[in-house]
Structures are given as C-alpha cells and as structure tokens.
Amino acid sequence: MTFPLSRPRRLRRTESLRRLTRETRLSVDQLIYPLFVAAGIDRPEEVVSMPGVNRWSVSAVVDAAGAATDLGVPAVLLFGLPETKDEAGTGAYAEDGIVQEATRVLKRAFPDLLLIADTCVCEYTSHGHCGVVGGNDPDVRNDASLDLIARTALSQARAGIDVVAPSDMMDGRVGVIRRALDEEGFEHVPILAYSAKYASAFYGPFRDAADSAPQFGDRRTYQMDPPNVREAMREIALDLEEGADAVMVKPALAYLDVIRAARDRFDAPLAAYNVSGEYAMVKAAAANGWLDERRVTMELLTGIVRAGADMVITYHALEVARWLR
C-alpha cells in the first residue's frame, strides 16, 4: 500500500489554515508594560531615544496605566525617578518615594491591574550603582547591599505593590527579601527575580530614561557576562531555591538560547525582558522606512514566546495589544 507524498505547504495556503495550525500564539495576557514615574515633573516627558515612551508624573501615570487596562494588558512594571539622589539610595525605600506614591495612586484607580515594582537602587544612588559602594573600592559590596534591597522591597510591599522584582543581581538577595517580606506579614507578595540579567550594551536608552548610568566603572562585576549560559542556569536555580516565585532573562533577543535553556530545565514561570535597545532599534528602522514595524515587532515577540517565555516585558505592549484585537 502506498501513501501520497506529504505536502506541508497545504497547511500554509490560506490565512485561516495558518491560524488553525499555528504552534505559538502571542497573547495580550502575556504582556507587561514598563512605566517610568518621575518626581518633579508636571507633564509627560518623551524619552528621545525611545520614541513613544514617556516619563510620567504620579498623577499622569494614571492615564498611562488606564491605556494599558483598556487594552487588556494585565500588568505594569514601575520604575522610579526621584528628584534627588544620595550615596545610599535612600529614596528607594522612602515611604513617600516615587514608586510608593505611584503604587498607592494606581491601586486606588485600578484595583485589578497587577503592579510590579522594579526593586533596585541604581535610579536612586548618586553613583548609579545597584548597591553600596565601599570606601576606596569602586565595586559594589554584595552583602552590605542586601539590607538596602530588602528595605526597598518591604517599602514597596507596604505601599501595596503586588509583585517585587529585584534587579540588582546581588548574590543571596532573593532569600533576604523573602525572609523580610514573610516576617512583616507579606507572605502573599511574590518575587519575580531578574535571575539572568546580563551586562548588556542594549540598556543604553533605558539609562537615558531613568538617568541611571554609573558615574564610574560599570556593572560587569555583578551583572552576568554575555557569553555564559550555564552560569545563568546556576543563577536561576539559586534564586528558585531562595524563594523566587518567577524568574527572568534580560535582555531577550540576543539571549533566546538562554530562555530556551531555562524553559527546558525549570518549571517556574519565566519572563523575558524585551529591553530598551531592542525597542529603539525597531523604532529607528521603522522611522527610516527600512522595515514594517508591526510585522517585525510581532515576529520578535512571538520568537521570545516561542523560545519559552511565559511573560514578555516590552515597551511595545500597548501597540501589540491593539494589533492583537
């Protein structure tokens, strides 16, 4: 008995067939929209290197979050830009800090919107590093930074944040945060750990937006070396052992293999951050007419999900949500 030759192209012939047989589906439910909230401004300020992205005042961020909820985006990620900075980054854990104030305002306006706080101090320190800098040593002191990061997480939880997301890459910070939250009665607050955060060149526009570039040195002693994959698996495993509820790979596009490796090895929820440089490249090329922005954006984000991400943090979130309607 003979069988006719299989022809995969038969299932590609029409859009309806392609939709029915599609293996990976990008959904608005997977999107997290980053928002920059700034003190000392009274109107939105566009970030020049990130067209379409603004810094928002506490009052105006309600409009930005409202646009997300209207489009069905389930979560936003808050970054704070204080009016003043100091050596110890005290604004990160101030009860009247910018993220804390924005959290309270947004919770009142949108009780069902998931609020995630970036839990770090680089936007708040005068030196721009993600922890305590000690004496004559320009490097960040790991253990001395843990209390500062835990205090920040606690302050965010007290303000009503739904999820804390430590992005500092200090060893042991997830365990310290988990203990601090539990001891204060915040057992219900999950930790989304930036577990595999690389020392990437793709962060440039973000540092423009957040005014968080280091004033000396760089972050390569605590963020991961881009060539390493096995190290990322160790970082993720350690964060999960310490109590992380979900983990993240950042950036996304140059690290799809890391996302895939994490998906294959770990059963925890996995986020990927489609970072500012990745966003800016698409915007710049589209502005020059070099590519179809919609098709390229959808292809890139689908690729991130295909690699294994359950959630995608992206500045394209509102556009994608509209396109998916």
What's the pLDDT at 7?
84
What's the pLDDT at 136?
53
Residue type (1 letter), 240:
L
Structure tokens at 199: 């020392």
Q: Where are the domains of the chain?
A: 25-323
Q: Which residues fall within 8 angstroms of residue 108, CB to CB, at 6 or more apart? A: none
Q: Rounded to a whole number, what is the distance in angstroms from the first to the last CA of the chain? A: 48
Is the pTM above the cut of 0.85? yes
Q: Which residue has the tokens 């922890």?
A: 131
**CATH architecture observed for domain 25-323:** Alpha-Beta Barrel (3.20)
Q: Catalytic annotation on 107?
A: no
Write down how long the chain is.
325
Q: How far is CA 239 from CA 7, 107, 201, in A?
A: 46, 28, 24
Q: Which residues fall within 8 angstroms of residue 196, CB to CB, at 6 or more apart? A: 224, 232, 235, 236, 247, 248, 249, 250, 255, 258, 262
What's the pLDDT at 125?
87
Q: What is the dihedral of CA 278, 281, 287, 291, to 10 degrees?
A: -90
Mean pLDDT by 10 residues, the chain (325 residues): 76 94 97 96 93 96 98 98 88 94 98 96 82 71 90 98 95 97 98 97 85 75 94 98 98 98 98 97 98 98 98 98 96
